Structure 1
Amino acid sequence: MVSGASDANTPPIVSLVAGGVAGGIEAFTSYPLEFAKTRVQLRNQKGIPTPKNPFFVVTQVYQKEGLRALYKGCSALVVGSVGKDGVRFLFFDQIKHAFADPETGTLSPLRNLAAGMTAGVVASITAVTPSERIKTALIDDARNERRFRSSLHATTTIWKEHGISGLYRGFVGTTLKQASATAFRMGTYNILKDYEKKRDIQQNTLVNFANGSVAGTVTTLATQPFDVIKTRSQSATGASTVEAVKSVLLDYGIRGFWKGTTMRLGRTVFSGGILFTSYEAAVKVILPLYEGTKRKVGVETA
């Protein structure tokens, strides 16, 4: 089960709030690595080697542009992650409960992946694509034109120039990435927890972090091409999915679709651990409050 704090049915509101809290914490703490990965994936000059060490890129940007530059576009990602992970955990928990074996309370590996994929599609439509578009546009814009003053300014500018379609630039690539990433991330984590549950392995912060890190590694290696296409589509100028694919092939060939893998891996191993550990901790705090409020309301209305 995703929710170690409540291996029975997790109430939808608890899944939503705990997922949102976990998403916000994960996005903020790991943002400098996300910033470095995005910069590497955006078009660079040919003949100039691309750094693979995310800490090298972070250090360079910090020295040349300051700390604020490393968090350019962070607010958009945090807001998007609160919505994205709230929705992902909400739908994953509900889908998981609907398809779980009534006797064991577990899912088969394929059903785990299918539940995650469905949750990823919903998250992409409701929260991820617009927030990723703004974040990527801000990071790209900071390299050259610097016409966007903030996340809000970038949002209003893109809306005025391109309408809602501008905010959903890269929707196909983002949805493919989210569907596959959520399937692998949530599915792998849940598979590991079910395996541990069958063998009575005690769930604690260290185990949750390790499970999340493994899930992050699997997710990165399996979905990197979608992430590269999404980043190219959502640059400051924007591009269609087909144009993004062509630009990657022209710049780097097939290997270009795994551009930034090392950097993304560094982030997802860390962020996967943070995300699921934060979620488990949030559920442990929120669930008793929810149940206490529910009992109080029941007493007052009785």
Structure 2
Amino acid sequence: MNTQSRKPSQLASLFCGVTAGAVEGGITYPTEFVKTQAQFSTTKGQPSRGVITILADTVRTQGLRGVYAGSGALIAGNGLKAGVRFMTYDSIKEVLRNPEGKLTPARTMLAGLCAGVVEAVVAVTPSETIKTKLIQDASSPSPMYTSSLNGTIAICRTEGFGGVYRGLTPTIMKQGANSAVRFGSYSTLQQLALDTLRPASGKLNSSTTFALGAIAGLITVYSTMPLDNIKTRMQAAGAETRYRNSLDCLVKVSAIDVHNASG
């Protein structure tokens, strides 16, 4: 069997991506909940809360289900996001291969960047906006939404379809950078591991692949967190009156951090 016949079809890439993304979203949602709550807590005059504090406060006041507020929207969006990402990435990288069939690190990052932009428009912005609003609502004294579906319908009814596309620009920036860094760093780490370990089969084993993916994920999270912070603020309830645009949001968030640090 030649290597060409082993390349996954677009449908296979979409299916595998959707499945992996949904599973990932369900397993990691509590960390997403804590991250979003921590980003909300850094308002002026309110010190940021730690992970343990947020989890303890949430479980005490809302029960264990509280840390899964808005999870339906994110799990569905995460599945669609991953499917679109891998299908788009696989398609674009085939176009960008050089005559020898290889991809340079720069072209790998470009393919990831393009995939990130597409997923931001198709899946990430709506699901992240809904998730952010639902988490914020669940933490309020009088929650308005009873489920992800109820919240989505209510947001669309009160804000129009554009209500689920709040923060589109910072989301595109974040997802583009996210995918570019993720695919670029993983590709670089993979090649480094192959050159160093020189496995007889020419392929890395599953544990090494997992470790490289985890390292690439850490690099991605830390390098794109500022963009993620701005995205969350721009998607929160009332953001349209609080911030003029993403740059204004960045300036105000930075000013709050300086104020908290000095206080």
- Normalised TM-score (structure 2): 0.86
**2:147 aligned with 1:142, yes or no?**
no
What is the CA distance between 1:208 and its match in structure 2? 1.9
Cα distance in 1, alignment partners of residues 28 and 179 from structure 2: 18
Aligned match of 1:107: 103
Cα distance in 2, alignment partners of residues 232 and 156 from structure 1: 21
1:258-269 alignment, distance < 5 Å? none
Aligned match of 2:83: 86
Cα distance in 2, alignment partners of residues 224 and 134 from structure 1: 19
- Assess, with a 3 A threshold, how the Cα gap between structure 1 residues 97 and 193 changes in structure 2: closer, same or farther: farther
**2:249 aligned with 1:244, yes or no?**
yes
Aligned match of 1:220: 221
- Assess, with a 3 A threshold, how the Cα gap between structure 1 residues 207 and 49 changes in structure 2: closer, same or farther: same
| Residues 72-122 of structure 1 deviation map (CA, whole Å, 9 limit, x = unaligned) | 01110010011100000111111122222443x432111111110000000
Cα distance in 1, alignment partners of residues 20 and 71 from structure 2: 15
Aligned match of 1:19: 17
What is the CA distance between 1:228 and its match in structure 2? 0.5
Which amino acid is the alignment partner of residue 103 of structure 2?
L
Residues 108 and 187 in structure 2, CA contact (< 8 A), matched pair in contact too: yes
Which amino acid is the alignment partner of residue 222 of structure 2?
L
SS at match of 1:147: coil
For this pair of structures, how many residues does the alignment match? 250
Aligned match of 1:300: none
Which one of 172, 176, 180 corresponds to residue 175 of structure 1? 172
Residues 112 and 191 in structure 1, CA contact (< 8 A), matched pair in contact too: no
| Residues 185-237 of structure 1 deviation map (CA, whole Å, 9 limit, x = unaligned) | 12211222233345534423311221111111111221111101000011123
Aligned match of 1:152: 149
Aligned match of 1:274: none
**2:71 aligned with 1:70, yes or no?**
no
Residues 18 and 86 in structure 1, CA contact (< 8 A), matched pair in contact too: yes
SS at match of 1:42: helix
Aligned match of 1:164: 161
Residues 33 and 58 in structure 1, CA contact (< 8 A), matched pair in contact too: no
In structure 1, runs of 5+ residues without a counterpart are 257-302
- Assess, with a 3 A threshold, how the Cα gap between structure 1 residues 254 and 236 changes in structure 2: closer, same or farther: same
Residues 120 and 175 in structure 2, CA contact (< 8 A), matched pair in contact too: yes
Greater relative contact order (Cα < 8 A, sep 6+): 1
- Assess, with a 3 A threshold, how the Cα gap between structure 1 residues 229 and 111 changes in structure 2: closer, same or farther: same
Residues 47 and 260 in structure 2, CA contact (< 8 A), matched pair in contact too: no
Aligned match of 2:92: 95
1:46-61 alignment, distance < 5 Å? 46-52=44-50, 54-61=51-58
In structure 2, runs of 5+ residues without a counterpart are none
Cα distance in 1, alignment partners of residues 61 and 222 from structure 2: 31
- Normalised TM-score (structure 1): 0.76
Which amino acid is the alignment partner of residue 30 of structure 2?
P
| Residues 137-170 of structure 1 deviation map (CA, whole Å, 9 limit, x = unaligned) | 0011112141111111221111122212111000
Q: Percent identity?
A: 37
Residues 116 and 179 in structure 1, CA contact (< 8 A), matched pair in contact too: yes
What is the CA distance between 1:48 and its match in structure 2? 4.0
